[in-house]
Amino acid sequence: MKLKLPRAEGRGPRAPKTRRPRRFSFGHRPAAIGHGFTLLEVMIAIAIFFVGSFAILGLISSSLNNVRRLQRPSVDASPVLARYAATNSLIEGTYTGSLGDPELLGKDYRDYNYTAVIEEIASNHLYGITCDIRTAYGRHDVISHMTTVLYRPQSPPGTLDGGIGIIGR
């Protein structure tokens, strides 16, 4: 025996149930409203990720370049100019050699050559020395270029003092 309960007053018959359109998702369950990401949000998140990734890669790259630079010997023309500054007498001419010579810098610098040009720039034994450092192999780009002026009264007469000077002038 079934008991019938009286209906509450003011209510009419129940409305028939309608089917809601099915939402598709990547999981097995349909996505609930308001729980997914829009395409725009996903694209912004990916853009932020790539900007951060490229910034970190740039920092790593510059750090590796600095480490490589620290491992290579630092080369400039000052040791060659110091050699000429230590002499009492200068003779005009063009001089070449290797920085790897034992009396200069040693075997760590054997891959570098120098060219020094000595010329009298004023009478009374005032000499200008110009020195270029280049790589010994591959491209011969100038790595270092330095110039100095030295007064050496014990030097033989240069081109301005009536001496023979540089050959070919």
Low-confidence winner among 2-6, 24-28, 121-125, 154-158 (lowest mean pLDDT) = 24-28
When comparing pLDDT for 158 and 85, which is higher?
A: 85
Q: What is the residue-averaged pLDDT of the chain?
A: 77
Give the residue from 108, 105, 155, 103 showing the smallest Cα distance to 129. Answer: 155
pLDDT tens, residue by residue, 50-78: 999 999 999 999 999 888 777 765 777 78
pLDDT of 49 higher than 50: yes
When comparing pLDDT for 85 and 45, which is higher?
A: 45
pLDDT of 148 higher than 60: yes
The Cβ-side half-sphere exposure at 163, using a 13 Å CA radius, reads 20
CA–CA gap between residue 105 and residue 27 (Å, rounded): 70
Largest CA distance in the chain: 142
Q: What is the pLDDT of residue 61?
A: 93
109 pLDDT band (50/70/90 cuts)?
Answer: confident
Q: What does the pLDDT average to over 92-117?
A: 82
